Amino acid sequence: MKRTGTKNFFGNLLKDVDCVIFILSAVSHGTMYAVKEVAADLGIKVVYQRSKGISGVLQAVHDNVAF
């Protein structure tokens, strides 16, 4: 079942980002698929992070985002 307005909502959020990092233990399937589709349309890199600890997330940011 598709939610109306989901792509527009995430499209507005993702306009100014370099990379999307999904914390797999904290995201729903519906949100993941909607964001992944919008990110692909905008050419934004998507990274899947299994660890929910802050050090793993920070490492993923460091590895995938240019500072």
CA distance 50 to 9: 25
Two tokens, residue 1: 């079942």
Question: What mean pLDDT do residues 25-52 have?
Answer: 88
Q: Which of 3-7, 26-30, 33-37 has the lowest mean pLDDT?
A: 3-7
Domain boundaries, the chain: 15-64
Question: What mean pLDDT do residues 23-28 have?
Answer: 86
Give this prediction's pTM. Answer: 0.74
29 in Cβ contact with 1 (< 8 Å): no
